[in-house]
Amino acid sequence: MTNKSKKITIFGYSEAKPGDPLYQAAFETSKLLAEAGFTIVNGAGPGVMRAATQGAHAGGGKAIGATFDSEGMTFFEGHDPENKVDEILVLKTYVERTMKLIELGETYVIFNGGTGTLSEFAMTWGLARLYFGNHKPMVFYGHFWYEVIEVLAKNMLIREKEKQVYRIVNSPGETLQAVKELALGLK
């Protein structure tokens, strides 16, 4: 299987703005992944999602977005018209959208974010445990994840296997290396 058939789902903060370090990190990471032949998947919204699409395009790659009609929702950003994904999938509900993002990705890169990112993080981590050995790898972007995982492990009943499904990285280059090792088995 070539990288071109591999999809990386990017999760992260919808309120990151161009010029923010988080936005730039998502852009650069997605650009590097696209240059390596990966397709980028995101929620078609603003912030990290838009940065991921822009990075994919800057790297000569493709971006797929999954959204839903958010009419009547107070705090959901919906599809960002500035996020010019190559393919848009419109689902019926937030849960269906989240499940589609999880289904499409063969690896997940999770940046800092709010409660939406937290729900995506929890769902991908839970599924990785359930399918351990056949799970989809997770790459947590940012040094802060060490503290987050440490607090969770200290205060919750986290199993040892659950600590084996992810890698924490701090740069776009480390992300690409982790994806190659975890998703493709390459060193």
Q: Please work out, in degrees rounded to the nearest 5, the angle formed at the alpha carbon of residue 137 by the alpha carbons of 132 and 96.
A: 90
Asked if pLDDT for residue 74 goes beyond 60, the answer is no
How many domains are there within the chain? 1
More confident residue, 120 or 39: 39
What's 154's domain CATH number?
3.40.50.450
Angstrom distance (rounded) from CA 86 to CA 136: 24
> What does pTM read for this prediction?
0.88
Angstrom distance (rounded) from CA 74 to CA 23: 24
Q: CB of 33 within 8 A of CB of 177?
A: no
Angstrom distance (rounded) from CA 98 to CA 46: 16
pLDDT, one tens digit per residue, over 84-141 is 999 999 988 888 999 999 999 999 999 999 888 888 888 887 777 766 667 788 899 9
Q: Which domain holds residue 79?
A: 3-184
pLDDT for the residue numbered 1: 40
Q: Contacts by 99-103 with C-beta closer than 8 Å and gap 24+?
A: 100/66, 101/9, 101/11, 101/41, 101/42, 101/43, 101/66, 102/9, 102/127, 102/136
